[in-house]
Amino acid sequence: MRSQTALFGFAAAAALGCSEPTAPASFTGTFVFADARLPVHLFTNEFGAWFATADTIRLSSDGQGVETGSRYMVPAGGAPQNPVAVRGTFSFHVVNGKAEVTFPCPLNANCIRGPHWIVMRTPGGIHVTYPNSIAPPQDLVELRGVP
């Protein structure tokens, strides 16, 4: 009887653990820049300043995601370049209530090991930090009802 009680307790704890914000489903959604003043300054380095004119992040319950958007650069001492479309797929897993996002490394590339983003849920969306980058944190709002 004691082992059945322990087994039931373990099963209940495991079931509760799956419903806690440690599963990818707790991050599922479509998110866009919270700052409606576009373009959004992403960062500046020795080559110039980088801006985004659009950005959408989709997180799926299977731990996969995609980022789509538009970016342009203003070279140091130069004129703004034409915007380019960006699209990147990634995977994520949840650790201590935060989603750790890692982008795949192309063959024969020398990539920085992930996580590349740390995503935290906020009441209205997500807060994204970039641990391997000089880019400042970004807040994105959730588009409810958008797959």
Question: For 40-84, what is each residue's pLDDT tens digit?
Answer: 888 899 999 999 998 999 999 999 999 999 999 999 989 999 999
Task: Give the distance, in angstroms, between the CA of residue 92 and the centroid of all CA atoms in the same chain.
Answer: 8
Among 15-19, 23-27, 61-65, 91-95, name the one with the lowest average pLDDT: 15-19
Q: Is the peptide bond before 115 cis (omega within 30 degrees of 0)?
A: yes
Whole-number Å distance between alpha carbons of 8 and 6: 5
Does 16 map to a domain? Answer: no
Does 67 map to a domain? Answer: yes
13 vs 114 pLDDT, higher one: 114
Is pLDDT above 60 for 7?
no
Burial letters 43-79, b for 16+ CB under 10 A, else e:
eeeeebbbbbebbbbbbbeebebebebebbbbeeeee
SS3 1: coil
Rounded average pLDDT over 104-128: 93
Does 6 map to a domain? Answer: no
What mean pLDDT value characterizes the chain?
84
Beta strands in 12-147 (DSSP E): 29-33, 40-45, 48-59, 64-75, 84-95, 98-102, 117-122, 125-129, 138-142
- State how many domains the chain has: 1
Does 7 map to a domain? Answer: no
Does 130 map to a domain? Answer: yes
Does 14 map to a domain? Answer: no
Instruction: Judge contact between 42 and 70, C-beta under 8 A.
Output: no
**pTM of the complete model:** 0.77
Does 1 map to a domain? Answer: no
Does 17 map to a domain? Answer: no
The reported pLDDT for the residue numbered 133 is: 85
Range of the domain at 88: 23-142
